Amino acid sequence: MKPVPTVFLRAVLPMALAAAAVSGCRPGSDTSQGAFTPPAVTVATVEPQEVVEFDQFTARMEAPEVVEVRPRVSGYLTEVRFQAGALVRRGEVLFVIDPRPKQAVYDRADAEVRRARVRVEITGREAKRAEMLYETKAISIEEADQRRWAATDADATLKAAEAALETARLDLEYCHVKSPIDGRVSRPLVTVGNNISGVDGFTTLLTTVVSVDPMFAYSDVDEPALLKFRELLRAGKLETNRDGRVLVEMGLANETGFPHKGFIESVDNRVDAATGSILVRSQFSNADSLLLPGLFARVRVPGSARQPAVVIPESAIGTDQNQRFVLTLTSSNTVAYRPVRLGASVGGGRIVRDGLQSGDQVVVNGLMRVRPGMAVTPVREGAPGAATASR
C-alpha cells in the first residue's frame, strides 16, 4: 500500500480524533461494543466528456466608432436638442448655431447667381450678333473678339457665383450640427449662449458619440497561445461560425462564466517585441446595450480541438503541499489517496490529465471528513441522500 503523505495525516487526523472524542462523550453512546457508523460522502463516477480547452485573457471593451462632434462653422450657439446619454440616429440634429448671418450670406450669393445668369444671356446674344456682323464686314475683328470674350467672362462669373452660393448653402446647413453616426451621445460640453469656433485647427468640441452595436473587445494574446492558435486554425480544428470566424466567449467583471458569444474579428499584423504579445480584436453583439466602452472583460479563446477528457468537480480536488490529489472509492468502500495532474478549467469542472481513468469513483463532497484507508458510506451524486452527505 502506498504510504499516506505526512501533511495529509497532520491535517485530517486531528479532526478524526476530535470527532471520535465527541462521539465517545455523547450521552447514550455505546462505545463498549465498538459501534461506529462510517461517515457518508458523496461520490461521482468519472466519465470522459467532449470538451474544448480555452485560453483566457483580459480585455477592454471599445466601440467600433467614436466621433468627436465639432462645428464646421463659427457662430452663436442657440439650441441643444438632445438629452445627455441618449441614443441618437445618424443625421439627427444635436446643436443649432444662429443661422441668420449665414442666411444673409446665402441670400446675397443667390442674388449674385441670378445677376450672373442675366449677364450670360446678354453677352451670349451679343456674341452671336457679332459673328453675323463680322461675316458681313459690318464690324471689325477686334470688336467681334471683344464680344466673344465678354460672353466667356460672363460664363466664368456665373460659375464663380454658383460656387459661392453652394458654399453659402453648406455654411447655412452646417448651422445645424448633426450626429454623424448611430450611437449613444455624451453630455453637451458647451451650453447655449457661447460663441463656438468652426475654424480648422481651432474647432470647439461640442460632445462625443459612440456606436453601440456591435462592440469590440481588445485583448493581448501571448506568443505561445498565438502559435498554438495558428496551428489549430491551419489544421481546421477550431469551431467557426457560418462565415468562417473563430468563435470566442466573453464575461464581464460581475458575471459568472462567459455568457456572451462572439467571434474573432481581426488579429494585428505584428507581435509587440516589448511585451511578446499580439493584439486580438473580438466582436460581440450588444443589442441590449449592456456592454459599454472601457469596461473590463474576460475573453477566452479556443486552445484545443474538441476532444474527450476526464473532468471532475473542483470540490473533489485537494491540495497536499504542491501536489493535487483526489480521494477515490475502493471496492471495499474505503477511500484511497490518488495524486493527479490537472489541466484547464472547463464548464465548472477541471480536466484531469493524469491519475484517473474512466469508471473511477471520486469523493466530491466530504473530502475533509475522511482520510485514506477509512471506511465510508458512499452516496451517489444526485441521489436523495447526497445533500445530507455533503453537509
CA distance 126 to 154: 12
Is the same domain home to 127 and 258?
no
Quote the cell numbers at residue 246: 473563430
Is the same domain home to 168 and 301?
no
pLDDT at 5: 53
Across-strand partners of 96?
79, 176
Omega before residue 378 within 30° of 0, cis: no
Is the same domain home to 59 and 94?
no
Structural domain including 15 reads 6-49+308-390
pLDDT at 382: 53
pLDDT tens for each residue of 339-357: 888 877 776 677 888 777 7
* In a domain? residue 1: no
Is the same domain home to 158 and 85?
yes
Residue type, position 145, single letter: D
Last residue of a domain, one of 210, 244, 259: 210
| DSSP state letters, 126-153 | HHHHHHHHHHTTSS-HHHHHHHHHHHHH
CA distance 106 to 174: 13
Between CA 107 and CA 114, with CA 110 as vertex, the angle to 5 degrees is 140
- CATH at 229: 2.40.30.170
CB contact set of 140 (below 8 Å; sequence gap of 6+): 134
Is the same domain home to 268 and 381?
no
Omega before residue 214 within 30° of 0, cis: yes
- CATH at 323: 2.40.420.20
Is the same domain home to 295 and 330?
no
Q: What percent of the chain has pLDDT over 90?
A: 38
Instruction: Please choose, from the candidates 45, 55, 76, 30, the residue with its C-alpha nearest in 3D space to the C-alpha of residue 225.
Output: 55
pLDDT at 24: 47
Is the same domain home to 133 and 180?
yes
Last residue of a domain, one of 210, 236, 255: 210
Is the same domain home to 198 and 91?
yes
Strands (E) in 225-259, as ranges, are 247-252
* In a domain? residue 125: yes
Is the same domain home to 58 and 44?
no
pLDDT at 154: 87
Query: Is the whole model's pTM more than 0.75, yes or no?
Result: no
pLDDT at 148: 84
Cα-Cα-Cα-Cα dihedral of 253, 255, 261, 264, to 10°?
10
Would you give per-residue pLDDT tens digits along the chain (391 residues)? Answer: 445 555 444 544 444 444 444 444 444 444 444 456 787 878 888 777 777 777 889 999 999 999 999 999 999 999 999 999 999 999 999 999 999 999 999 999 999 999 999 998 888 888 888 777 767 777 777 777 788 888 888 899 999 999 999 999 999 999 999 999 999 999 999 999 999 999 988 999 999 999 998 999 999 988 888 888 888 888 887 778 888 888 888 999 888 888 899 999 999 989 988 888 999 999 999 988 889 999 999 998 887 777 777 777 777 788 877 788 888 888 788 888 888 888 777 766 778 887 777 778 888 877 777 788 888 877 776 544 444 444 5
pLDDT at 9: 46
User: In total, how many domains does the chain have?
Assistant: 3
Chain CA centroid to CA 3, Å: 51
Is the same domain home to 199 and 72?
yes
Cβ–Cβ < 8 Å for 342, 19? no
Is the same domain home to 238 and 184?
no
pLDDT at 10: 52
* In a domain? residue 357: yes
Last residue of a domain, one of 247, 274, 305: 305
Is the same domain home to 89 and 188?
yes
- CATH at 141: 2.40.50.100
38 DSSP 8-state letter: P
CA distance 149 to 156: 11
pLDDT at 175: 95
* In a domain? residue 166: yes
